[in-house]
């Protein structure tokens, strides 16, 4: 098992917990995710008091600057990790795509829950698909990964940065700031907003981010009791896929500053893994795909990263460093 991952379906439950506190961000989607985990834990341990500790993070507070310029998605987890370190919370629930590739010493991921739809979603009040957008239509996105792929595949469109929580981004679309926006399908579906999706983008149109659509639960690695309680929540196939995807990003130094995508699917004992690295303007884009045994997801991720480097990812990385 690699560093930071201690999930195991065979880990014994040590005892029935009396109280578990879950640290979460305050956004509607983050609260939904934390409440979902809370309800799963209550179902497993009906005598346990499972409570939420809602916190504001720096990533939620700075909304006028792109994540790439203010430190990346790690800004969404630091305050939650502080609550874990201080003992104010026992675990933290994150969108797996927001979890930095290297966790601080003493922290680990205790469970990866079954994935929701990992694809990106096209949302518009006037058009059904990206292909239907007219020349110079304005598309908003919060992700350099999405932006680079849009610019590469649809150079006739205008693409700009779109910050804010999911409701804020939808509101900007509704008041006419954009012709369309690209969001994660999982978030929309979890909040009952699936009807806003005009079409899901194929992985060929927009390869997802590592971990997209999955929930990750973080805890202090010394808390073996918490690891035991979380074991039943872990979804093995999703865990293997996310580990492979994160290995690609880790090997390439992935962050919000790098338009990088990685997506794995697990079929039986095999993982199929795709990856992509691009420059922000989408003019240079390299792709690769590998497959291998599901029992070695990190090795597969490292192999895909090497394939991307062989195709020119190093030049892109050097230009962005």
Burial class of residue 284, CB neighbours in 10 A (0-12, 13-18, 19+): middle
Total Cβ atoms within 10 A of residue 7 = 22
CA distances from 216 to 232, 276, 277, 286 (A): 13, 23, 24, 28
CA distances from 198 to 154, 174, 304 (A): 18, 14, 32
Give the separation between CA 50 and CA 187, rounded to whole angstroms.
23
Of 99, 55, 306, residue with least CA distance to 212: 99
Three-state secondary structure call for residue 79: helix
Q: How many CA atoms lie within 13 A of 5 on its CB side?
A: 23
Cα torsion angle, 92, 96, 97, 100, sign: positive
In this structure, are residues 258 and 252 in contact, taking their beta carbons and an 8 Å threshold? yes
Asked if 98 is an active-site residue, the reply is yes
**Catalytic entry in 98, 120, 179, 279:** 98
Q: List the beta strands (DSSP E) in the chain.
A: 19-25, 49-55, 91-95, 107-112, 120-123, 138-141, 158-161, 180-184, 199-200, 215-220, 260-267, 270-278, 285-293
CA angle 195, 201, 203 (to 5 degrees): 140
Catalytic residues: 98
């Amino acid at each position: 098992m690699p560093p930071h991952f201690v999930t195991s379906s065979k880990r014994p439950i040590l005892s029935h917990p009396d109280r578990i506190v879950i640290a979460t961000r305050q956004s509607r989607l983050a609260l939904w995710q934390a409440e979902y985990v809370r309800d799963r834990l209550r179902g497993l341990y009906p005598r346990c008091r499972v409570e939420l500790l809602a916190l504001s993070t720096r990533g939620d507070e700075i909304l006028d600057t792109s994540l790439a310029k203010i430190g990346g998605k790690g800004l969404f987890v630091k305050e939650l990790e502080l609550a874990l370190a201080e003992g104010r919370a026992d675990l933290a629930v994150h969108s797996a795509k927001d979890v930095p590739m290297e966790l601080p010493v003493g922290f680990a991921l205790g469970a990866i829950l079954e994935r929701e739809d990992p694809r990106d979603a096209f949302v518009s009040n006037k058009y059904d698909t990206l292909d239907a957008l007219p020349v110079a239509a304005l598309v908003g996105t919060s992700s350099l990964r999405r932006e680079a792929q849009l610019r590469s595949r649809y150079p006739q469109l205008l693409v700009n940065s779109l910050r804010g929580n999911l409701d804020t981004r939808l509101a900007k679309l509704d008041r006419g700031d954009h012709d369309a926006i690209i969001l994660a399908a999982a978030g929309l579906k979890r909040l009952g907003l699936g009807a806003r999706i005009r079409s899901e983008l194929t992985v060929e149109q927009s390869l997802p981010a590592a971990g997209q659509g999955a929930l990750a639960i973080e805890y202090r690695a010394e808390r073996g009791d918490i690891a035991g309680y979380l074991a039943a929540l872990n979804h093995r196939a999703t865990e293997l896929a996310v580990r492979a995807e994160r290995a690609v990003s880790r090997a390439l130094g992935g962050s919000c500053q790098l338009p990088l995508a990685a997506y794995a699917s697990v079929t039986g004992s095999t993982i199929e893994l795709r990856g992509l690295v691009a420059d922000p303007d989408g003019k240079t884009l390299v792709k690769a795909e590998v497959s291998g045994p599901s029992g070695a997801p990190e090795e597969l991720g490292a192999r895909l990263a090497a394939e991307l480097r062989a195709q020119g990812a190093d030049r892109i990385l050097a230009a962005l460093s």
